[in-house]
Amino acid sequence: MTYTGHVEPDGDWQDRTDGSLRVRKLSVEEMDNNVYVLACARTGKALLVDVAARPDRLAEAVTDVDPIAAVQTHGHWDHVRAWDGVRERLGLPIWGHPGDAGLFPHPVDRELGDGEVLEVGDLEVEVIHLPGHTEGSLLYLVQGEERPHLITGDTLFPGGPGNTFGSADNHRRIMDGLEEKVFDRLPDETWVYPGHGDDTTLGAERPHLQEWRDRGW
């Protein structure tokens, strides 16, 4: 199957390979939560990104790899519903940013910070802390052979930043962070994997940065 970046809730997942990186994308339940598996093509070591829902489905998605942990983009309820099930079914530690400790159902097994690099087989996955949608929102960046790949959770979607719930300060923070840590640093071909819905690229979104900042939400 050709990778398109569009998956249906509880439907088939899609895989793509870029050098030593393999990305698996699936969607679960009514909130159309995207869950990702970042795997090293040589060693099979992997990260599961967001324990959103359907622990049985998430377990199925990692049967052909060797996951070392589940990592959270943030702590909103729709991204953590499978927390207990993943711990019980897979025995995986769950890692996330301490800024979302009040949202997580349990303490994380490891606190992740900005600029930290997670070694996953041959892959180096960089942690980017970018608050605004939540205080502890994280992005995960990994370099493929052809392009960078960026998992953005609910911080960046096709069409703009994530919801800042009417807070002008958080909107400023999310826009400042996106410009400084993402758009000013990474090339247009960077592939963006959001927490819900279809994928995009930084090049497709870059022309709209000022529009997003001006609209103020």
Q: Which domain holds residue 121?
A: 14-215
Residue 9 lies in a domain: no
Residue 75 lies in a domain: yes
For residues 136 and 101, give the distance between their C-alpha atoms in angstroms, rounded to a whole number: 8
Which pLDDT score, from 0 to 100, does residue 47 have?
Answer: 98
Beta strand segments in the chain, E: 14-18, 21-28, 33-40, 45-49, 66-71, 94-96, 110-111, 117-120, 123-129, 138-143, 148-153, 156-157, 160-161, 191-194, 200-201
Domain count, the chain: 1
pLDDT (mean) for 184-197: 98
Which pLDDT score, from 0 to 100, does residue 216 have?
Answer: 82
Question: Which tokens sit at 102?
Answer: 């009040």
Residue 1 lies in a domain: no
CATH of the domain at 33: 3.60.15.10
For residues 146 and 190, give the distance between their C-alpha atoms in angstroms, rounded to a whole number: 9
Which pLDDT score, from 0 to 100, does residue 1 have?
Answer: 73
Residue 28 lies in a domain: yes
**Per-residue pLDDT band at 81 (split at 50, 70, 90):** very high
Residue 126 lies in a domain: yes
pLDDT in tens, 14-64: 999 999 999 999 999 999 999 999 999 999 999 999 999 999 999 999 999
pLDDT in tens, 93-123: 999 999 999 999 999 999 999 999 999 999 9
Residue 5 lies in a domain: no
Reported pTM: 0.98
Q: What is the DSSP letter of 70?
A: E
Residue 211 lies in a domain: yes
Residue 148 lies in a domain: yes
